[in-house]
Amino acid sequence: MSETREHLIHWLRDAYAMEKQALEMCERQSERIENYPELKARIAEHVVETKSQIARLDECFKLLEESPSAVKDAAGWFMGNMQAAGGMLMPDEIVKGSMASYVFENLEIASYTILIAAAEADSQPKIASLCREILEQEKAMAEWLKNHLSETTKTFLQRDEADVKARA
Ligand code: MG
Ligand code: FE
C-alpha cells in the first residue's frame, strides 16, 4: 500500500472518531438546551447531518476496502461524555457550549479540507466528493454558530440577571 493511501485511511479513521464524538456532543446538547429554541433546533438538525456524514465515511471505507477503527471509536465516545459531564457543572454552559461547538466545527472543516487533498493525491475522486459534501455542512454549521454567538451570549446574560433579581 502506498504511503499516501495509508495516510488517507488513517485520516479517515480520525474523522470517523471525530464524528462519533460530534454526534455524542450534539445529541447531549440538543437534549439539554431548554431556553434557546433556535440553537436547539439547529443542533438537532446537525445531529441528522452528522449521522449522514458517518454514513458517507462508511462509504469511503468501503471504497478502499477498509474499516474504521474500533479503539478510536471508544475514545471518541469517552471524550464526548466527559465534555457533556463537565458542562453540567457550569451555569454558563450555553455560552461555553456554543464556543466549544464553534471550535469543533472548525476542527471538522480543517479535517475535511485535509481529507479532500489526500483523496485527490490518491486519485480517489469519489472519496474527495463525499468529503466535499460533508465539508459544506460543517462550513454552514460553523457559520451559523458564529452568527449566533453574540445573541446567545446576550440572551444568557439577560436571563442570568433576571434569575438573580428573582432570587433577591
Ligand atoms: Mg461532522
Ligand atoms: Fe459538524
φ/ψ bin of 66: left (φ > 0), alpha (ψ from -120 to 50), beta (otherwise): beta
81 vs 156, residue with greater confidence: 156
107 vs 76, residue with greater confidence: 107
Please say if the pLDDT value at position 75 is more than 90. no
What is the rounded distance in angstroms from the CA atom of residue 104 to the CA atom of residue 80? 12
Averaged pLDDT, 115-133: 98
Cα 10 to middle of ligand 2, angstroms = 19
State the pLDDT confidence band at 69, using cuts at 50, 70 and 90: confident
Residue 112: its pLDDT value, please? Answer: 98
Which of 59, 52, 61 minimizes the C-alpha distance to 13?
61
**Other CB atoms within 10 Å distance of the CB of residue 14:** 17
Domains and CATH numbers, the chain: 3-161 (1.20.1260.10)
Averaged pLDDT, 66-84: 65
Q: Which ligand is nearest to the CA of 141?
A: 2
How high does pLDDT run on average in the chain?
90
C-alpha distances out from residue 56 to 16, 44, 60, 85, 120, Å: 10, 19, 6, 29, 17
The fraction of the chain above a pLDDT of 70, given in percent, is 88
Give, as residue ranges, everything with CB less than 5 Å from ion ligand 1. Answer: 22, 50, 53, 108
State the pLDDT confidence band at 66, using cuts at 50, 70 and 90: very high
Cα 87 to middle of ligand 2, angstroms = 19
φ/ψ bin of 124: left (φ > 0), alpha (ψ from -120 to 50), beta (otherwise): beta
Residue 84: its pLDDT value, please? Answer: 60
Averaged pLDDT, 121-138: 98
State the pLDDT confidence band at 86, using cuts at 50, 70 and 90: low
Q: Are 30 and 47 in contact (CB under 8 A)?
A: yes
